[in-house]
């Protein structure tokens, strides 16, 4: 299994920054770092980091089974319920969550002081996330292979490839 980072040290690992100034529904602004992956088994481990500036990741749902561990700060999640309402979830440093495959769509961001979190994803078919536009349409998937290829090129998955979580 390829490992990109040997230890948790947010000051020395490589972060990739993603923003989308053309997106006007909410501010997209976050960083991610791949820690390791195993393509044959469908596993990807990564960290996300949000500043305390209200930056979100894109509107998405996890298709892969996902472990979330909050390392620093707070994670704020707005989960879209089947009846059209939203559920607010706040996770603090040390909180652990386990989501099965086929999770509900959501938006996430850091709290007032930001957030650093670990995501450990298991996707036997390789599909990690499904992204939506503001009308919950125009779905597109992002796979482990797309993350790895983007990482190896020194880029971030963008609008053409897909979007990061």
Q: What gap in Å lies between CA 5 and CA 33, rounded to an integer?
A: 9
Contact, 83 vs 136, CB < 8 A?
no
Q: pLDDT value at position 1? A: 65
- pTM (two decimals): 0.87
Candidates 151, 161, 156; CA nearest to 19 is 156
| Domain ranges for the chain | 16-153
What is the mean pLDDT of each successive set of 10 residues along the chain, which is 165 residues long?
A: 76 86 81 93 94 86 94 94 94 95 88 96 92 75 90 69 42
Exposure pattern of 80-96 as b/e (b: 16+ CB <10 Å)? beeeeeeeeeebebeee
Q: What gap in Å lies between CA 92 and CA 112, rounded to an integer?
A: 12
Q: How many CB atoms lie within 10 A of CB 47?
A: 20
Q: pLDDT value at position 160? A: 38
**Topology adopted by domain 16-153:** Jelly Rolls (2.60.120)
**Tokens 């948790």, residue?**
8
């Amino acid at each position: 299994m390829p490992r990109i980072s040997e230890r948790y040290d947010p000051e020395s690992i490589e972060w990739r920054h993603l923003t989308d100034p053309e997106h006007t529904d909410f501010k997209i602004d976050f960083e991610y770092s791949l820690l390791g992956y195993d393509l044959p088994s469908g596993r990807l481990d990564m960290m996300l980091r949000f500043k305390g500036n209200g930056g979100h990741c894109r509107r998405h749902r996890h298709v892969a089974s996902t472990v979330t561990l909050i390392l620093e700060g707070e994670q704020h999640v707005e989960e879209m319920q089947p009846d059209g309402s939203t559920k607010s979830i706040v996770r603090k440093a040390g909180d652990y969550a386990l989501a099965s495959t086929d999770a509900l769509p959501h938006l996430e961001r850091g709290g007032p002081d930001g957030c650093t979190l670990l995501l450990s994803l298991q996707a036997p078919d390789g599909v990690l996330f499904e992204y939506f536009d503001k009308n919950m349409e125009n779905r597109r998937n992002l796979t482990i292979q797309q993350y790895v290829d983007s990482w190896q090129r020194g880029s971030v998955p963008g609008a053409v490839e897909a979007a990061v979580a």
